[in-house]
Amino acid sequence: MGPPISLYPGQEASNCSAVLLDTGNFVLHELNSDGTVKRDLWQSFDYPTDTLLPGMKLGFSTKSEQTWSLKSWRSDVVPDTGAFTFGMNVDSIPGNEFNIMQHDEEYWTGGFSQDEGYQHKPINGFTLQDQRGSSYAFSKISNENETYFNYSANKDIKTFPRLRIDYLGKLYLGERLLVQCSFPSLASDNQGCVKKKLPGCRSDHITFAERSGYFVDTDGYEFHADDNLTHVDCEDKCVTICSCVAFEPTKKDGTGCNVWTTMPKFEMDLNAPKVYFLESEAKFVNAAKPNRWWIWLIVAVGVVIITLFFFLCYAKINKKRVAEGERKRKQNMLIQELGGEGGFGPVYKGKLADGREIAIKRLSKSSGQGLLEFKNEVILIAKLQHTNLVRLLGFCIQEEENMLIYEYMPNKSLDIFLFDSTKKCILNWKTRFNIIEGIAQGLVYLHKYSRLRIVHRDLKASNILLDEEMNPKISDFGLARIFGLKESEENTNRVVGTYGYMSPEYAMNGVVSIKTDVFSFGVLLLEIVSGKKNNSRYHSDHPLNLIEYAWKLWNEEIQVSEIKAESCSVNNVTVSVMKPR
């Protein structure tokens, strides 16, 4: 609890009463003996914060030397006084009555008109409308004791009436934006923004790009500046330091700033705090120099001739070296096409210089997946570590070439064994059950135990790879969706995946959740147990897909007749395909 606030110092008063009026004004009255109001000792309307309500004053008193102005918050969650003050110019001219101050410097000045712009004309009263069309009538009162503006809202107003300045210096009427000066206040005079003085090392075209993530190391960290700095103060500080490239808030409430002067390695993370990078069309503005174009022309021609001579000599000498290097490179990496195409494009087998075998996925121009899905897979798999997830060894993005380098799976994908009349004999029941269990373990990790909660969205037999011991590994994360720890589902307008494996709520309504993968896993489980494809048709009288056919057999209590493994456990099959209760 802080110290008490003196509301009416220097005078005695008895029989007092405090009341919160419907206008939002909190008033302390001194009452007469009969209960009527004798005088007002104190009222909150005399001490505005960041919001002006109907009936409050915006101006100054020449008698009491009191000023009524709006003061911004320090951040969107810290109500302490921030960087901006909105009020009346003491020495104003008609039509230019208002200004916004950033600390002690003028940030914006002007007057309002009926339209969207600003007009410098005498104003004793004017009307503005908010974003819903509700009218606010402003009036100017000026006498020998005080000069101020106040306003009233029409009775049929649809929103709570208020005039507010936020912590970034933006002025709102209701939710309508009245004033916004883009950094560094480069707008022309008729918009009222005052251009800031920039150091010679900065150009006029400066912006700050917002990214979520964190710096991997401390290289380039310059200093920590607290001093209750606001976000705009940190922008100004970064601009005035010629070597500054970025800043981040010191505190979770968005105040203070850590300044970075060189660009260290930055890790993108949507759940991490925001970092603000300074961007400019020209980092340095060169001073004008005497015109010596003919000297520069001679020098340029000479440099080109000398460079061309040395380049031709180097090319001739290096020709044999390049040919030898190409021969060795081909020896060090033997590449052959594995056959077939995944969601990205063709898959190749390669061998590194140390003898390790690798799988190379190359993004095809005709692929249904693009660069966005490619980057999504790189970001996700790099952060996931599980024995039942395929391991990413590296990637390549160069011009139009995009490749993913994986550990090599000698047995390729599950569908090659599952739906081949000859190879399916290799999948005895023990192997099938181990594959089912491994896929389930991988899904549990994605949904519950990984650093990111992930829904795969395209779980199917061709995306399950098998190592040399027939252990399953989930692959192809290009369509995966990241969820927050407290998020359970979301809607999407872009339904992607493979029909037959999609849950009904996802295929028809675009609802994505963990249940999306669980449904796909159920379809995949039926395929593994039965050895049949889901998109095939069964039962000659009434063609059914695999799910409908399995349900029919289950209801007829024909539980294991469709299992194609050489040997199996009826109990394990029953556990794998359990009838809902």
Neighbouring C-alpha atoms within 13 Å toward the C-beta of 109: 17
Burial class (CB in 10 A: 0-12, 13-18, 19+), 533: middle
Residues 6+ positions from 315 with CB-CB distance below 8 Å? none
- Omega of the bond prior to 290 within 30 degrees of 0, cis? no
Count Cα atoms within 13 angstroms, Cβ side, for 386.
24
Q: Cβ atoms within 10 A of the Cβ of 108, count?
A: 23
Backbone angles phi, psi at 549, to 5 degrees: -65, -45
Cβ–Cβ under 8 Å, residues 361 and 347:
yes
Paired sense of beta strands 146-153 and 58-61, if any = antiparallel
Sheet strands side by side (includes 67-68)? 67-68, 58-61, 146-153, 135-142, 125-129
Collapse the DSSP code of 44 into the 3-class scheme (helix H, G, I; strand E, B; otherwise coil) and give the result.
helix
Active site residues: 458
The sign one gets for the Cα dihedral 238, 244, 249, 251 is negative
Please name the residue that has the structure tokens 């200093």: 223
Residue 95 and residue 111 in contact, taking contact as beta carbons nearer than 8 Å = yes
CA pair distance 29, 507, nearest whole angstrom: 66
Q: Which tokens sit at 485?
A: 């720890």
Rounded (5°) CA angle 435-440-442: 95
In whole angstroms, give the CA distance from residue 81 to residue 49: 8
Secondary structure (DSSP) of 483-547: E-TT--EEE-S---S-TTTS-HHHHHH-EEEHHHHHHHHHHHHHHHHH---TTS-B-SSS-B-HH
- Closest C-alpha among 496, 502, 494, 492 to residue 477: 496
Determine the 3-state secondary structure of 327 from DSSP. helix
The Cα 342–Cα 361 span in angstroms is: 8
Asked if residues 452 and 383 have their Cβ atoms less than 8 Å apart, the reply is yes
Closest CA to 480 of 498, 497, 460: 497
Contacts of 78 (CB under 8 A, 6+ apart): 253, 254, 255
What Å distances lie between residue 344 and 272, 347, 370, 375, 467, CA to CA? 30, 9, 8, 12, 21
566: which DSSP letter?
S
* Cα angle value 194/199/201 (rounded, 5°): 130
Position 484, amino acid: G
